[in-house]
Structure 1
Amino acid sequence: MKWKLGVGIAIASIAVLGLSACSAEKGNDESAVGGLVANTPATSAPAPTAGTTNAAVTLGTAVTSLGTIVVDGKGLTVYEYGSDVQGSGASTCTGQCARNWLAVPGAKSEPAFPGITGQVGMITGVDGTPQMTLNGWPLYYYVGDTAPGQTSGQSVGDAWWVLSPAGDPIGN
């Protein structure tokens, strides 16, 4: 019985580490799963996954326990990566990092987004597709957020942060 319990704990630990791992190589974050949950109501929108379409998204805001933050049109939280250089026009999230932190798709001509006061833009992401930016920060989804309103990526590895509508990292 103790052996089965030990094996179960080991498997669960490996699964959590595998989901949240980001390589420390080349500026990528070492991460662990956070645990904050936003105060926005959940909808039936799916969480982003690897292989998500590259169609540009809409940005909006949501009031959460972290304050008013930026979310996409489905209520999914978007983040900035502290290892990126604001305004550099480049993402530094590659490899395992890019598998856990998915680029928010952008478009060459971004419309105005109600409630967003920071400048919305676009860069060419690490995979060569357009990636949305806010105030010069490349934007990402966290695969650990499985429903709208979740902010479990907040402060992961002391490098990932939600953004205010002005495009400023919150909690950094």
Structure 2
Amino acid sequence: MRIRHAAGAAALALMLALAGCSGSTTTGGDGASSSPPDSSPSAEPTDDGMSSDAALMLAESSLGTIVVDGEGMTVYMFDNDTQGTATSACTGQCLANWPIVTTDSATPVVDGVTGEVATIDSPDGKKQITLNGWPLYYFAGDSAAGDTAGQGVNDVWWVLSPAGEKIGG
């Protein structure tokens, strides 16, 4: 039993550390900690539940219809980014907690997403997908398709609607 409790405590500590990224443009976090709102892995892809060739598609969740990647992983926008920017404001430790959503294609394929999809160059030379000009990210604390644990973290991270608008908490 102690091993299970120790593993659970370690997992909880990791989640709290990951949630601490508030978005400073130089370090990616000011050390502030915030617990994400209660969110369960209840999102289900709106198609047959299988992975898609689309870079972005839709899923139903307790937050409504949200944008996910082709594997069903939730994608997020960052309030500290500037809409329409050519660069991400998430750098340093922030990127460890909020990895960018990338594509190999200059024109990412989408399924059901109605907002404008494009790409920007990331500092490491990858193509980061944008939706309505917002660079997209994953949350390291999401472990399965449909998880939305990043929603509302530090009041700067948000899931997106099919039109590319943030869904507030």
Q: TM-score, normalised by structure 1?
A: 0.77
2:146 is equivalent to residue 146 of structure 1: no
**CA distances 1:4-46 after superposition (whole Å, capped 9, x unpaired):** 9xxx69867643433333265436354534231253349798x
2:88 is equivalent to residue 91 of structure 1: yes
Q: In structure 2, what is the equivalent of residue 21 of structure 1?
A: 20
Does the CA contact (< 8 Å) of 1:70 and 1:165 recur in 2?
A: yes
SS for the counterpart of 2:129 is strand
Q: In structure 1, what is the equivalent of residue 42 of structure 2?
A: 39
SS for the counterpart of 1:26 is coil
Q: What is the RMSD computed on CA atoms of the aligned residues?
A: 2.9
Task: Return the alpha-carbon distance in structure 2 between the equivalents of residues 98 and 57 of structure 1.
Answer: 23
Residue 81 of structure 1 deviates from its aligned partner by 0.4
Does the CA contact (< 8 Å) of 2:108 and 2:118 recur in 1?
A: no
**Which residue, out of 51, 56, 73, partners 1:59?**
56
Structure 1: gaps of 5 or more residues: 46-55
Which stretch shifts more, 27-36 or 144-153? 27-36
Task: Return the alpha-carbon distance in structure 1 between the equivalents of residues 11 and 74 of structure 2.
Answer: 25
Change (3 A) 1:12 1:171: same
Structure 2: gaps of 5 or more residues: none
Change (3 A) 1:31 1:86: farther
2:116 is equivalent to residue 114 of structure 1: no
SS for the counterpart of 2:99 is strand
Residue 65 of structure 1 deviates from its aligned partner by 1.0
Q: TM-score, normalised by structure 2?
A: 0.78
**Which residue, out of 38, 53, 78, partners 2:75?**
78
SS for the counterpart of 1:103 is coil
